[in-house]
Amino acid sequence: MTEMPSIRQTMLVGRHRLANLGDQAMHECLILLQSITQKTKAKLLAFDEELLTVEQYQHFIQLVERRAAGEPSAYIIEEKEFWSLPLKVTADVLIPRGDTELLVETALTVLANKQQPKILDLGTGSGCIALALASELPQAQITACDRSPACLSIAHENAKNLGLNNISWHESDWFSALPVRPYDLIVSNPPYIAVDDPNLAASVAEYEPIHALIAQDQGLADLNKIIQRAGDYLLDTGHLILEHGWQQATQVQSALQQQGFNAIETRTDLQGHERVSMAQYDPQTR
């Protein structure tokens, strides 16, 4: 290339290098270019004749090579949007998924008539669930925990960047280091993928924290740990909402029933898969 490359030319180079991503290649190139130029996608597309500097072009090629090798773009640019919130993510935390927004939607429905709800987020990771709820429920008192100090550091940084101050952060392996106190709602997106799950993408297993993905007992071990202890931390008629694998709804529902939960309901994600189960605690039936 004898002259400064334009945004359009750079996009063509990137799309060719990421051709294996199909229709996603252009989207991925735009994400990378946004991080380099600090321009919105709309501006990149509307003014694609603008020239990049040599440094910008070289930086883009470096990032494209990382993406072509399989590294997720969220880790490359260290950012992922969730619930319209820009969140910092690193290889220490699981990349927030759009499917998890269903858990947030379900939680907001459950808490619709609560003025100052007390919420516990177990295994908060990047803090995405707690932060989404904090942004929608400024009067809520939210406790978020994770066993990983690195995750908590990222989550706390995200809260600071977003100006959300109604969350307290705690290092705890599920309930183990938390004082027993009653909550209106407990939410969690725990590891739920089986060790031998053939559908786990190689790129996910290679780059994302495996402890946030894999669980023993066919992916049910951590779900069961939470269900077994949740009643001790819920107000009477409090709710538990869990994200789980698309083939685990029946087992989760059965475990909830055995631990004294009723009004059990499972909701489907955008692909029509059973993804989130909610239930109300009834200590009389435990």
**Has residue 286 got a pLDDT over 90?**
no
Is 0.85 surpassed by the pTM of this model?
yes
8 A C-beta contact, residue 127 and residue 160: no
Whole-angstrom CA distances from 89 to 31, 69, 86, 126 are 15, 19, 10, 7
8 A C-beta contact, residue 253 and residue 278: no
Of the candidates 135, 183, 207, 198, the one whose C-alpha atom is nearest the C-alpha of residue 281 is: 183
**Has residue 234 got a pLDDT over 80?**
yes
Give per-residue pLDDT as tens, 103-114.
Answer: 999 999 999 989
Give per-residue pLDDT as tens, 146-163.
Answer: 999 999 999 999 999 999
Domains belonging to the chain, first-starting first, are 7-69 (1.10.8.10), 82-285 (3.40.50.150)
Task: Give the pLDDT band (50/70/90) at residue 2.
Answer: low
Q: Which two tokens stand for residue 116?
A: 């100052």
Return the residue matching tokens 């993408």. 201
Q: Which residues have CB under 8 Å from 255's CB, separation 6+?
A: 220, 223, 224, 227, 228
Give per-residue pLDDT as tens, 244-284.
Answer: 999 999 999 999 999 989 999 999 998 999 999 999 998 77
Of the candidates 147, 271, 245, the one whose C-alpha atom is nearest the C-alpha of residue 192 is: 245
